[in-house]
Amino acid sequence: MKIFKSLLILFVLLSQISCNDNDAVASQDFVIAFKEQSVDFSTIENSKTIQLTFSEKAAYAGSVTLNWTADQATYNTDFETFPNASSGQLTLDFAAGAAGVSFEFKNLIFPFDRSDKAVTFKITSINYGAPAVIQGYSSLLVSFDRAIGGTVLPDVGGPNQPNQVFVDLSTNQVVLSRRDLWDFGFYSGSEDRVVLNGSLYMAATALDQNNIDAVTPASVQGLINQVAVGTFDPTNENYIDDPKGDISETAIAEISANTADNKVYLVNMGYEIGTATPPVGSVAIAGASRGFKKIQIQKTAAGYKLLYANLEDTTHREMDIQKRPDYNFTFVSVTNHNQPQVEPLKDKWDLCFTVFTNVIPGNGSYGYSDFVLFNRKAGVKMYQVNTTQVSYANFNASHLEEQRFVLDQRVIGADWRDVFTGGAFTDRFYILKDTDGNVYKIKMLSMINTSGWRGYPSFEYRLVE
């Protein structure tokens, strides 16, 4: 455990020596803007809170006035708001000390088929005791079209980073899942593969054994210190899944139709989610060791059969797992003996914010916080753009370079953040193509909250047209 934590600290320090300082521009004006540019009408089953954000906490009480216009949509028939805005205007009061203001948009036509209905809200005036300006997202579109863009604050959960957060850009939807809900992911694609939960720093190796009940602590004693993440040994790359996300390069070999070919595996279950409170600006990702287990996997007509037990057990438990073609994986917890729902449908997410097991060339596997992956398994692609080529603001469809899209799921990874400032490097942004062919540009903004705590990332994105 001490070696593991030392590696984390050493690598973060070494990898961030060349950090760039984020530019900060002071503003004397009080700025109000919508948090999002657009909302997918079809995702609002009942109501949605529409948020407007302030550039700083309000020093005075005040109000902001919005006007709305509708296209093929009728108030009290297709939608409503709270407070009431049937007159076409909505005034929102806020108190001194407020960091924002909001209203409720109620969808009156759910469920339904896709439609051409749309409602646009626009900020028209601000009543405030000091200079105030409308800047940033001054309007918001609620429609059945793909999301234009917005600002997202994935709830990773603070310096222990307990959550994996899945983001779908075209619908502006976010799904949150605790990263200790699962241990193994059973692939639903054409290959019969099983992945480890790298967010817990799991590792695995095959044993020269086909009888799971014959494996004992004594028989694997020589492997206990080797099968681990963060040992400074380059050979430990063999015990983790390919960090690029290539499903054909998992620590567990492809499951064979010939039962005799499927070996028993020794599995280092990694670490519990940390619970300690670290110094401000730091993280406490890894808690207590979760120990070791032994597993064996067989192929079935519907998917897989998992055999699993503690090392000292002379009997084992079994679980049948079905492939689900609409999802990348069926997830399994041998800790809780269940199959939890973790990821959204495979074509309903683009980015995942998570703790991650990566590789230092020449030094083997290591754990990393503040990591961002894209959905390679479903066909999402990405590439990075440097601002010396073109700025984020000016990037449009004419700048798109199809040949630059790559499959390595770590395009954003952890290289987006500056651990010294808590911000994001301003010399780069990212281009993502989703499974529907929509192209978005993405700019990372910050990894800390207003109090300086890690584990509060934010980013903005916009449809490339």
Do 126 and 162 sit in the same domain of this protein? no
Q: Does the pLDDT at position 314 exceed 50?
A: yes
Do 396 and 408 sit in the same domain of this protein? yes
Do 328 and 191 sit in the same domain of this protein? yes
Do 188 and 174 sit in the same domain of this protein? no
Do 315 and 401 sit in the same domain of this protein? no
Q: How confident is the model at residue 422 (pLDDT cuts 50, 70, 90)?
A: confident
169: left (phi over 0), alpha (psi -120 to 50) or beta: alpha
* Within a domain: 338: no
**Which stretches does DSSP call E strand in 72-155?**
79-82, 89-94, 100-107, 118-127, 132-134, 139-143, 149-152
* Within a domain: 404: yes
Q: Does the pLDDT at position 4 exceed 70?
A: no
More confidently predicted of 148 and 238: 238
pLDDT, tens digit, for every residue of 169-215? 988 889 999 999 999 999 999 999 999 999 999 999 999 999 999 99
| 2 Cβ contact list (under 8 Å, min separation 6) | none
- Chain centre to alpha carbon of residue 311: 33
Which single residue is written with the structure tokens 């903004």?
Answer: 445
Residue 220 structural domain:
182-332
Average pLDDT over residues 295-309: 97
* Within a domain: 125: yes
What is the pLDDT, as a whole number, of residue 251? 98
The domain tally of the chain equals 3
- What percentage of the chain carries pLDDT values higher than 90? 82
What is the pLDDT, as a whole number, of residue 119? 94
Do 161 and 199 sit in the same domain of this protein? no
| 266 Cβ contact list (under 8 Å, min separation 6) | 204, 205, 207, 215, 220, 223, 227, 292, 294, 311
Q: How confident is the model at residue 19 (pLDDT cuts 50, 70, 90)?
A: very low
What SS3 state is found at 366?
Answer: strand
pLDDT, tens digit, for every residue of 366-419? 999 999 999 999 999 999 999 999 999 999 999 999 999 999 999 999 999 998
pLDDT, tens digit, for every residue of 21-80? 333 333 468 999 998 888 888 888 899 999 999 988 999 999 999 999 998 899 999 999
Give how far Cα 365 sits from Cα of 32, 226, 457, Å.
Answer: 45, 12, 24
Do 287 and 419 sit in the same domain of this protein? no
Do 229 and 314 sit in the same domain of this protein? yes
CATH number of residue 102's parent domain: 2.60.40.2030
Q: Could you say which of 99, 122, 145 is where a domain stops?
A: 145
Average pLDDT over residues 271-286: 96
